[in-house]
Amino acid sequence: PTVFILNGPNLNLLGQRQPEIYGSVTLADIERDCDALGRELGLQTRFFQSNHEGVIVDTIHEARQQAQGIIINPAAFSHTSVAVLDALNTFDGPVIEVHISNIHKREAFRHHSYVSLRAEGVIAGLGVEGYQLALRRMASLLG
C-alpha cells in the first residue's frame, strides 16, 4: 500500500521556524525517517509539502487514485480550510492528522481543526515522532 504524507504551510521551514515550539529537526529529516519506517512496515510513502491550499487540495485528489491512506499535518490550514476538509471527504481510505505541537495548549484559534472531522485519529504534541506513530497506526489500519 501507498501512503501520502502531506504537510501544509510553513513546514518547509521546520528546523529554523520557532524551534522552541517545533524543535530542530527538518522536514527532510522527517521524510527520510518516514521512508525508512515505511519500508519496515511494508508501506510505500510519498512525502509532500506545500504553502498553497489549492496545491494541497490537488494532491489529495491525486491520492484518490494513488494512495490507500493519508497522513496530514495541515498546519495553519487545519484551523481555516473547509476546502482541505472537503477534499479529504472525497478520499476513501483512512486519514490521520498530525501536529508537532500540542495545539490544545496554544492559542484558542488553534484548538479547532476542520480536518479532525474527517480524521480517524489525531496526534498532537508528541513532536516529530508523531509522524512515525501515525505511520505505525496506518500500517495496522491498512494491514
From the annotation, which residues make up the binding site for substrate? 73, 79, 86, 100-101, 110
Stretch 52-91: interaction string toward ligand DQA, x if CB under 6 A? ---------------------x-xx-x-------------
Q: Where are the beta strands (DSSP E) in 25-73?
A: 44-49, 69-73
131 is catalytic: no
2, 10, 51, 80: which one contacts ligand DQA (CB under 6 A)? 10
Would you state the cell numbers that stand for residue 62, as one nine-digit string? 491525486
| Number of residues binding to ligand DQA, judged by CB under 6 A | 10
The least distance separating ligand DQA from the CB of residue 98, rounded to whole angstroms, comes to: 7
Question: How far is 137 from 14, CA to CA, in rounded Å?
Answer: 24
Contacting residues for 104 by C-beta, under 8 A, at least 6 apart = 110, 111, 124, 125
99 is catalytic: yes
The least distance separating ligand DQA from the CB of residue 120, rounded to whole angstroms, comes to: 17
Question: How far is 15 from 74, CA to CA, in rounded Å?
Answer: 17
Backbone angles phi, psi at 86, to 5 degrees: -60, -40
How far is C-alpha 135 from the geometric centre of its chain's CA atoms? Answer: 10
23, 33, 110, 120: which one contacts ligand DQA (CB under 6 A)? 110
Closer residue to ligand DQA (CB): 106 or 136: 106
> One-letter amino acid identity for 133?
L
- Binding-site residues sit at 73, 79, 86, 100-101, 110
Residues of the shown chain interacting with ligand DQA in the complex, contacts defined by CB under 6 A: 10, 73, 75-76, 78, 99-101, 103, 110
